[in-house]
Structure formats: structure tokens, C-alpha cells
Amino acid sequence: MGSGELAQQRVIVALDVPDEESAIALVDRLEDVTFFKVGLELFTSTGPKILEMLKSRQKSIFLDLKFDDIPNTVAGACRSAARYGVDLLTIHATCGREALKAATEAAQVGAAQAGVKPPKLIAVTLLTSISARQLAFDLKIPLELPEYALEMALMAQESGLDGVVCSPQEVVQLRQSCGDDFLLVCPGIRPTWADKADQKRSLTPAQAIVAGANYLVIGRPITTAADPELAWKRISEDLSAIA
């Protein structure tokens, strides 16, 4: 595999910026990046036109709106979002089994109505900003963290979802239990030189790929770097070493 190819295939850059202008500036600087994530901050600011901007540049799109509501509402949201023709779409596993099933069906319907490919629907197991201590003391969940993440992933899989968003620290266990065809998409990725900030359950890009992650989501280590192209290049080189 050529230099940078693994990063191009497996790294999704999170465009957590406040407006369209900043997003375009970053996308145009990071010309080797093929996959971008649009999350709550950018989508709330720009609406769907940001997706058109990315499509016009032939980029793959992860629409990370993390829907979390009752079954009827998440189904409607997934039906609408699927019409945009995005590649990945998120919902929280904590919506529950009934909502996850309704969302899965609705995403198929929305895509068919719009004549586009359905998105891969993936469920957030447990935000990577939550530590074991916070899970127990703030969220009052009595399970050990790895067991809780596994239960959320299995519920998503049984409900027909294509995969989950999980911490890279849980990838080995989830891959073993959910099999090779289940997508494991990992934020909380931190090169050794990057600040962890609010991420509590992180690994380096190379560690996450070796563990078995399908995609790595990386935001601030690239987007807030003094030189985002150089940050991308360093990550690409680290991944080339394991390719």
C-alpha cells in the first residue's frame, strides 16, 4: 500500500468548525482527505448545503447528528437524513431497541424515496468522553464499562444496524463478539503528540487500526493544528508504517 493510502481509506476528518467558510477552507487545504464528518456544530450552522459542498468535491460524508429520541421521532429524522445520500449516519444506542429498529427501516425508506444509496446506520455505544468513573458515578450505570459498551453494540446489531461508534479501547472485544462485517467507527483517536482534551478512552491511530477499527474519526489533532496539512501527513506516515 502506497504512502498515505491507509489514511485516505480509513481516516475521517471531523469538521467541527462554526461555519461554511471555515469548513471550505479546511477541506480545500486537506486535499488528500477523502472522508469528512459533519457534526452538530457545523450542520446546525449551515444546514444541508454543507453536504452539497462536500459532494461537489467528491468527498464521502459521515453525518454525525447522533439522534436520540422516541422511536417515531428518530425514524422521521433518519428518513429525512437518508435522503441526503450520505455514507454514514448516527443514532444513540440508548434510544433503545424499538427506536433502533424503526430508525433502520426508516433510513432505507428515505434513501429509496430519494433514489440514493442508504447510509450505513451506526449507533453510539458510549461517548468516548465518558470515563469508567463517570459511567458509574454520574450516569449511575452499574455495569463495568466494557460490558456496557458490548451490550449497546449487541443491541444495535440485533436491531439491524450496520455498526457502532465506539472507543478504540473497546475494538478488540467488540470485533470478537460482533464479527468482521460489523462496522467499528472510532473517535477518541490521539497521536502521541496531540492533546487528549475531553477524550477519556483514546488510542493512537496505529493502535486503533491494529485493534481492528474500520474507520478512525480525527478532529482537533488535525483541524486545530498550527499546520493541518502537516498533522495529516504525520498521521498518514504513522499509518503507512503498519500497512
Residues that bind ligand LLZGTKA7 (CB under 6 A): 14, 16, 37, 39, 124, 127-128, 165, 187-188, 199, 217-220
C-alpha cell, 136: 458509574
Was 28 annotated as part of a binding site?
no
Closer Cβ to ligand LLZGTKA7, 110 or 187, answer by number: 187
C-alpha cell, 172: 478488540
Closer Cβ to ligand LLZGTKA7, 72 or 131, answer by number: 131
Was 214 annotated as part of a binding site?
no
Backbone angles phi, psi at 191, to 5 degrees: -60, 160
Distance of closest approach, residue 2 Cβ to ligand LLZGTKA7, in angstroms: 25
Was 69 annotated as part of a binding site?
yes
Closer Cβ to ligand LLZGTKA7, 111 or 165, answer by number: 165
Distance of closest approach, residue 114 Cβ to ligand LLZGTKA7, in angstroms: 25
Q: Name the one residue in this structure whose C-alpha cell is 457545523.
A: 42
Q: Is 66 a catalytic residue?
A: yes
Was 64 annotated as part of a binding site?
yes
Distance of closest approach, residue 50 Cβ to ligand LLZGTKA7, in angstroms: 14
Cα separations in angstroms, 169 against 34, 106, 137, 172, 202: 25, 31, 20, 7, 7
Closer Cβ to ligand LLZGTKA7, 163 or 188, answer by number: 188
C-alpha cell, 100: 433502533
Q: Is 56 helix (H, G, I), strand (E, B) or coil?
A: helix
C-alpha cell, 209: 487500526
Distance of closest approach, residue 217 Cβ to ligand LLZGTKA7, in angstroms: 5
Point out the residue whose Cβ comes nearest to ligand LLZGTKA7.
Answer: 219
Distance of closest approach, residue 128 Cβ to ligand LLZGTKA7, in angstroms: 4
Q: Is 103 helix (H, G, I), strand (E, B) or coil?
A: helix
Closer Cβ to ligand LLZGTKA7, 107 or 126, answer by number: 126
Was 67 annotated as part of a binding site?
yes
- 155-177-64-141 Cα dihedral, nearest 10 degrees: 60
Go through the chain and tell me how many residues it has. 243
Was 128 annotated as part of a binding site?
yes
Distance, in Å, from the CA atom of 204 to the CA atom of 210, rounded to the nearest integer, reads: 10
Distance, in Å, from the CA atom of 93 to the CA atom of 215, rounded to the nearest integer, reads: 19
Q: Which amino acid is at 211?
A: A
Q: Which amino acid is at 63?
A: L
Q: Is 66 helix (H, G, I), strand (E, B) or coil?
A: strand
Out of 66, 120, 140, 233, the active site residue is 66
Binding residues: 16, 37, 64-73, 128, 190, 199, 219-220
Residues at the binding site for substrate are: 16, 37, 64-73, 128, 190, 199, 219-220
Active site residues: 66
